[in-house]
Amino acid sequence: MLVSEAVDRVKNLIQRTIREYDTNPSLKVAADGSRTPIEHPLKDMVSDDILYSIDSALKECAIRTNPLKLMVPNSSVYTEFKRVSSEFYIRIPRFPVIGEELDIDDGLAHGVIHMTIYFLYSKESRYKQIADEIYRAYNAAYRDMQIQKKLTGDDTVADAVVYFRYSSDGINFHESYVGGDIFISFKSGDQGLWSPAIRFVGRDAAEASLLELSDTPDSFDGMGGKVIAVKKTEDGFEFIDMVAGEGGGATSFVGLSDTPATLTAGKFVAVNANGDGIVLVDAPTGGATATGSGRFGVYRQAIESGFGDIEIDTENYNSFVLAPDGDATIIFKSFDDGSGTTVKCWEGMEISIMIFAASSTITLDPSQTLYGNATISPDGATLLRLRYDYETWVVVENINYPDM
């Protein structure tokens, strides 16, 4: 894909985003009571902003995946960006220049384009989610193919390739991208299986707007405070008044039928023993403190002593503080993710590990694949932030605090 083509696609996504935004009735109220439309921040972006964001997205992609286009042997003269084996490394992707090729695998280019929008304006997280799907599919294909031939120095690398195909409907695919294609799929080597179709182009504003649908009202005018409901003729939707006690249901957590009638400070929410309701329980025990809620909060496990193999519970915690007494290896707990697959952490979860070493050698689980540098200080403190992505770990951050 040419850089100019990538820039044009970014601009098209920006225009689509702005059109969707401009149909939103949200307005800003000024101090004098007047109303002024709020301009979408992406309207101010120029080509240079897009190119620099594409460059950031290329580097982020090279960290999260192993692009074959960037993989070079040790004898190469390129600057090393990420080590993938004793024989090969990932070089730094070139800065995008109009007129040149985008320095990334073609399939990954679509993920880079969507991540560029997120880098330009981080509140547009839906584009990051699309890029995440593309990167995960690529990583799955990469992991399945016979890439080890290349990594071990074998010259027979015919299968060391990821194939891409495109589609306008997610069913009928072809090899080269053409206008109107909105789905992409991956396959590893000649013997691999195609991944499920991934939509890499968002819906048009007309598709996304409620008022543009054929069976919904044509306007929001005068509908403030009303709710939408199926017509009695059962052939469309209409706005109606909300009648007290009808259709609204409970308006608070304690008003639900399967929750406690009152709330107690400091308690945690849990499913009851019968599996048919919610109860309040004491905070988790077992050497850890916890704040937040579920896997989206912060659950901290503290291990203040020990040596040898020290297991951390990555099923139930995502923040760890370790203070080993001597040389130790940090082992990630194995557990079933609910689908029959044994994993070391929840897919896509990011964990942090704060390690306080006292003249000790601390290492990470040798059975795990780790992308990026993870240096642990033997005489101080180390902060590691890792993300679990398709049964591998990606180093997000590595900070050493010597002599703490």
Task: Spell out a b/e string for 148-179, using b for 16 or more CB atoms within 10 Å of the CB, else e.
Answer: eebbeeeeeeebbbbbbbbbeeeeebeeebee
Structure tokens at 343: 């994993």
- The H-or-E segment that residue 384 falls in is strand 380-389
d(CA 193, CA 388): 23
Residue with the bigger pLDDT between 273 and 291: it is 273
β-bridge pairing 28-29 and 80-83: unpaired
Least confident of 121-130, 151-160, 208-217, 357-366: 151-160
Where along the chain do its domains lie? 3-199, 209-240, 250-281, 288-402
Residue pair 168/177 in contact by the 8 Å Cβ criterion: no
Backbone angles phi, psi at 7, to 5 degrees: -65, -45
Backbone angles phi, psi at 199, to 5 degrees: -75, 120
pLDDT for 55: 93
- Which of 145, 150, 149, 175 lies closest to 162 in space, CA to CA? 145
pLDDT for 112: 93
Q: What is the pTM of this model?
A: 0.44
Structure tokens at 74: 């040790």
pLDDT digits (tens, 9 = 90+) for 183-226: 778 776 666 677 777 776 554 434 445 655 656 776 777 777 78
Helices (H) and strands (E) in the chain — how many of each? 6, 25
- Which of 138, 19, 380 lies closest to 399 in space, CA to CA? 380
pLDDT digits (tens, 9 = 90+) for 358-396: 778 888 988 888 887 888 888 778 888 888 876 788 888
pLDDT for 318: 83
- Which of 72, 103, 105 lies closest to 90 in space, CA to CA? 72
- Is the pLDDT confidence value at 85 over 80? no
pLDDT digits (tens, 9 = 90+) for 260-288: 888 787 677 777 767 777 878 765 544 44
pLDDT for 138: 79
Residue with the bigger pLDDT between 39 and 92: it is 92
CA angle 218/246/222 to nearest 5° reads 30
pLDDT for 152: 46
- Is the pLDDT confidence value at 75 over 50? yes
Residue with the bigger pLDDT between 290 and 141: it is 141
Task: Tell me the mean pLDDT in the region 146-168.
Answer: 56
Residue pair 389/64 in contact by the 8 Å Cβ criterion: yes
Whose tokens are 């033997």? That residue is: 378
pLDDT for 95: 94
What Rg value do the Cα atoms of the chain yield, rounded?
A: 26
- Is the pLDDT confidence value at 144 over 60? no
